[in-house]
Structure 1
Amino acid sequence: MKIDKNIIKELSNYLDEFNLTEIEITEKDTKIKVSKNNVSVNNQPVTTPSSINVKNENVSSAANIKSGIEITSPIIGTAYHSPEPGAKKFAEVGKKIKKGDTIMIVEAMKTMNHVPSTADGVVKEICVEDGHPVEFGQTIIILE
């Protein structure tokens, strides 16, 4: 069986374009799956150079993480700051948050998952833009 290399290149480009870690297509009885290699260092995921821009953005907020409480996404999906478009945001910089308060919604497979705060504090930084994708374990909010 001969596989068209252009399809693999195109799928690989989609990984970078849409910030994906894996993509798969099936046509008749042919299935092609392309994924990025992820490496772990001290149990912390490190992405390959193809997504270095994303890691560089996170590095700039690394100093803030040390001086605050980091709240991470419990799942992969799309982050939303409010329950519906135009509604009041769950969390804003400077707002007091109590443990258990919803700070964001992460949509995964058409299901809206409320993300509760794991601690009391004041929102220092919101690390994810509204409507943007998040990965499991990615920092979404930092509290002081």
Structure 2
Amino acid sequence: MKINKKLIKELVDNLEEFKLTELEYSEKDTKIKVSRQSKVSQNISPEITIEKNNKKIETITGTEIKSPIIGTAYLAPEPGAKKFVETGKKIKKGDTVMIVEAMKTMNHVPSPKDGVVKSVNVEDGQPVEYGQTLVVID
């Protein structure tokens, strides 16, 4: 089978142009799949409302730091160690806020900016989904 480099290049360009993480192309018995690992995504100034029994308890605004992958969230580098972040703690851009482990690979999740931790939205050892809000900073 001859590899069509032009087609692959076009698929990769489409990934970038349409901000996709994965693209698949099939024709007869040929199947091409291109993908890229996405970076941590965040929304600037979202508003999160926490409710209990239909009563508004708290509204949090700030920058959401979301999980870049599906995996298990760890709040500290090892069991019993000091947590990376806690509510009220000041952090700097690039500081690790959490580790998300997937397939025995530890993925450090960095802070996208300087700020103060408003909330930590996951428990240590909790399974997380892609795009799930892990931490909110302001």
TM-score normalised by length of structure 2: 0.58
Report the counterpart of residue 37 of structure 2 in structure 1: none
Q: Distance in 2 between matches of 1:134 and 1:85?
A: 18
Q: Which has the higher strand share?
A: 2
Tell me, yes or no, if structure 1 residue 60 matches structure 2 residue 54.
Answer: no
Q: Distance in 1 between matches of 2:79 and 2:136?
A: 23
Identical residues among aligned pairs (%): 68
Corresponding residue SS for 2:108: strand
Corresponding residue SS for 1:128: coil
Q: Residue 119 of structure 1: CA displacement? A: 1.4
Report the counterpart of residue 105 of structure 2 in structure 1: 111
Report the counterpart of residue 80 of structure 1 in structure 2: 74
Tell me, yes or no, if structure 1 residue 101 matches structure 2 residue 95.
Answer: yes
User: What does residue range 1-144 of structure 1 map to in structure 2 within 5 Å?
Assistant: 60=50, 63-64=59-60, 67-144=61-138
Question: Which ranges of structure 1 fall in alignment gaps of 5 or more residues?
Answer: 1-57
The residue identity in structure 1 corresponding to 2:69 is I
Q: Aligned pair count?
A: 85
Q: After the TM superposition, which segments of 4 or more aligned residues of structure 1 sit over 3 Å from their partners?
A: none
Q: Which has the higher helix share?
A: 1
Q: Look at both structures and tell me which one has the larger radius of gyration over its CA atoms.
A: 2
The residue identity in structure 2 corresponding to 1:134 is V
- Kindly report the root-mean-square deviation, in angstroms, between the aligned alpha carbons of the 2 structures: 1.8
Task: Encode CA deviations 1:27-75: one digit per residue, 9 max, x unaligned.
Answer: xxxxxxxxxxxxxxxxxxxxxxxxxxxxxxx8637942xx211110111
Q: Distance in 2 between matches of 1:94 and 1:128?
A: 16
Corresponding residue SS for 1:130: coil
Report the counterpart of residue 24 of structure 2 in structure 1: none
The residue identity in structure 2 corresponding to 1:60 is I
Task: Encode CA deviations 1:104-136: one digit per residue, 9 max, x unaligned.
Answer: 000000111111011111001000111001111
